[in-house]
A = this chain, B = another copy of it.
């Protein structure tokens, strides 16, 4: 963090603030103060707040892309486990994006297309993941069931952290962490998993519950 450019520090700090408090609640003055530069200097690097948001969004896309690639290449339950973890960690790192999506898209309409494209890409990758598992005999599901499973997975990756904020932190398992999110998603798959793969899946799920 010491040798990084001011520009990068602005992005880092903005990301942290946006994730914690939401885009709407964080002013450019606030960002400048946190980076320990003047508002004028902030403006030198990014003319508008929107530009900061858009840069962070692009970084988010770049961070998610390999997750989708990994998802589309899955062949066994183990890969699913790995993929889910990658994906949830990426989304958690940029949770400001889905934190208040409606607000984000309303305020920055330019992102609407990109956001929908991301969900669509996610949907395609998840569909592919399910189809491959079905082809490998790990999953037993009709075309329609695969379609719905993919939808369930994308819905979960997109919205889980928003939801987790509303659930009471009960005991050991924290639903707001990537671990529980992955556990939840594996559970969606479980009714359709057959044979010994199912035992292994349940073993993995058990590990999350501790």
Tell me the A residues contacting B by CB distance below 8 Å: 21-22, 24-25, 99-103, 105-107, 115-116, 119-120, 123, 148, 151-152, 155-156, 158-160, 162-163, 165-168, 184, 187-188, 191-192
Q: Which residues of B contact A188 (CB under 8 A)?
A: 152, 188
8 closest cross-chain pairs (CB), A and B: A191-B191, A100-B100, A159-B159, A119-B166, A100-B103, A99-B102, A148-B187, A155-B163
Residue of B nearest to A105 (CB): B165
Bound state CA distance, A192 and B119, in angstroms? 28
Alpha-carbon gap, A184 to B192, bound state (A): 16
- Structural contact, A22 and B102, CB atoms closer than 8 A: yes
Closest-by-CB residue of B relative to A103 is B100
Pairwise interchain contact B162-A102, C-beta atoms closer than 8 A: yes
Residues of B within 8 A of A184 (CB): 148, 151
A-B residue pairs in contact (CB < 8 Å), sample of 19: A24-B107, A25-B107, A99-B103, A100-B101, A100-B102, A101-B165, A102-B162, A105-B165, A116-B167, A116-B168, A119-B166, A119-B168, A148-B184, A148-B187, A151-B184, A159-B159, A159-B162, A162-B162, A191-B192
